[in-house]
Amino acid sequence: MADAHSLDALTDALRRLPGVGAKSAARMAYHLLQHDRAGALQLSVALSHAVEQVQHCELCHTFTEQRVCSTCLDPARDRSQLCVVETPADQAALERTGAYRGLFFVLMGKLSPLDNIGPHDIGLQKLFDRLGGVHLAVPDMVFPPVQEVILATNFTAEGEATAHVIAQALRDSGLQVTRLSRGVPVGSELEYVDLGTIAHALVDRRNTLG
């Protein structure tokens, strides 16, 4: 395929997708050109359109095409609660539970010293500014100071470190700062749950009589 430079360029570009190596990229390029040229053009347009349109919500930092996302603007949401997550995918998972009616703040990352990602890179200052309350001019809308910050970063080393740093920074703020509970997943059998999880479930055990 020495004389199909645009095919090589396509394969190289596909390799920039996360989790796609040389063989997968070649297979994708082959599939698109042989079986789905319409899909290739659709993807091309979707990519340039998304890069052009998608920005960050001024309040919660998630992806949106507006200045402020529809979740933040929703008057039915409880503005006294702010749930801090790492990514829009985590936010979507919480939304799907239907168990949360407060607002979000999306870090768009997590602290990761090994990758040189510090507090500045994940917009912690933006989070702290948000906590004090915001007044939007257009549309005219007031977001009072937050009363509870729910830390819902992942239960990985980086996610725990991120939650810890935020909690420490808010130690003297007078805010209620909570963390999602650790414990045994619903539907699982103790025999197959890892020991660390069982240990945490023991430490965080709750009084069932109320």
- Which residues of this chain interact with a copy of itself, rule CB under 8 A? 1-7, 9-10, 12-14, 16-19, 23-24, 26-34, 36-37, 39-54, 62-66, 69-71, 87-89, 91-92, 108-109
CB of 141 to a copy of itself, least distance (A): 16
DSSP labels, 77-90: SEEEEEEEESSHHH
Q: Yes or no: say if 105 and 129 are a contact pair by the CB < 8 Å rule.
A: no
**Residues 75, 81: Cα–Cα separation, whole Å:** 13
Q: Which is nearer to a copy of itself, 72 or 179 (CB)?
A: 72
Using DSSP, state whether 50 is helix, strand or coil: helix
Q: Closer to a copy of itself at the Cβ: 109 or 183?
A: 109
Q: Which is nearer to a copy of itself, 53 or 188 (CB)?
A: 53
Residue in 107, 65, 113 with CA at minimum distance from that of residue 83: 107
Shortest spacing between CB 16 and a copy of itself, in angstroms: 4
**Residue 2 C-beta: closest distance to a copy of itself, Å:** 5
**Closest approach of Cβ 177 to a copy of itself, in Å?**
26
Q: Which is nearer to a copy of itself, 30 or 128 (CB)?
A: 30
3-class secondary structure per residue, 93-139? HHHHHCCCCEEEEECCCCCEHHHCECCCCCCHHHHHHHHCCEEECCC
